Amino acid sequence: MAKIVLDPGHGGTAKLGGSSPNNAVGQGGMLEKTVTLDIGLRAEKLLTAKGHTVKLTRKADNNVGLADRAAVAKAIAAPVFVSIHLNGFNKTTQGTETLCDTLHSSLSADLCRAVQKRMVAATGHTDRNKGHPGGVKRQPLGVLKPSSHHPKTACCLVEISFMDVAAEEAKLKTNAYRDKIAKALADGISDYLAAGSIEAVAAKGSFEDGFQAGGGKATALPKAASVAAKKASTATKGAKKAAAPRR
């Protein structure tokens, strides 16, 4: 059985270590931080029942900095870390997406695909990962920075749905829908653990979550750090060229 860290996004009343107290808000006033915590607690019960050891980065309405959230998983070398979020944009856009950091391990990519598959089936929404290379959506996300995690930790961030859509907020008020989402999360993690892969790379992160990266927040967003990726690509091409036989 595995050690799993679930990270209910946001919390508290003040920004801390890059983590906002709340981002997405439903048209009726439902808060993202409230739903993420509830779903995290429900998923914790399901995964514990399967024999896993589960830790939450928070169990109450308090905020935890992005690096400190990752540190919970790093301290126990957890094989799995999933940050739980809900999205918001223009009150009509809808869909489910699961993200990895811009530079990420194949472990994280596998976890991302497993969680996304189950979550799309549960929500019935558009698969916003579709069309992205390998079915993995990439963004520089502070809570997923590989340098903040153990090399063997697979980590991803799931944006369950856009809760600023009135119909979705109504569904999120029901226990049945929250249970369905929690089960999808637990099943996605279980699918990953049953399959898995081995490989990891280091990277940098910038955004807080998909909501912020998508422009839902009115503050200026930091630019993605891609220099390391470009250097790695250049080095690889150079190595291949040097190894090529002369004709």
Cα radius of gyration (the chain): 18
List all residues 6 or more positions away from 184 whose beta carbon is below 8 Å from its beta carbon: 115, 118, 119, 121, 122, 123
pLDDT for 217 equals: 53
List all residues 6 or more positions away from 73 whose beta carbon is below 8 Å from its beta carbon: 5, 55, 80, 81, 149, 150, 153, 155
3-state DSSP assignment of residue 39: helix
Residue 49 CB burial class (10 angstroms; 0-12, 13-18, ≥19): exposed
Give how far the C-alpha of residue 89 lies from the chain's centroid of Cα atoms, to the nearest Å: 18
Q: Which pTM was predicted?
A: 0.81
pLDDT for 83 equals: 98
Residue 106 CB burial class (10 angstroms; 0-12, 13-18, ≥19): middle
Q: How many other β-carbons are positioned within 10 Å of the β-carbon of residue 25?
A: 17
pLDDT for 210 equals: 75
pLDDT for 241 equals: 44
pLDDT for 199 equals: 31
Per-residue pLDDT reduced to its tens digit, 187-203:
999 999 999 533 322 23
Residues of the chain with pLDDT under 50: 197-205, 218-247
Closest CA to 157 of 147, 143, 174: 143
Q: How many other β-carbons are positioned within 10 Å of the β-carbon of residue 29?
A: 7
Domain limits, the chain: 3-243
Closest CA to 144 of 192, 186, 195, 109: 109
pLDDT for 14 equals: 98
pLDDT for 172 equals: 98
Is 3.40.50.300 the CATH number for 3-243? no
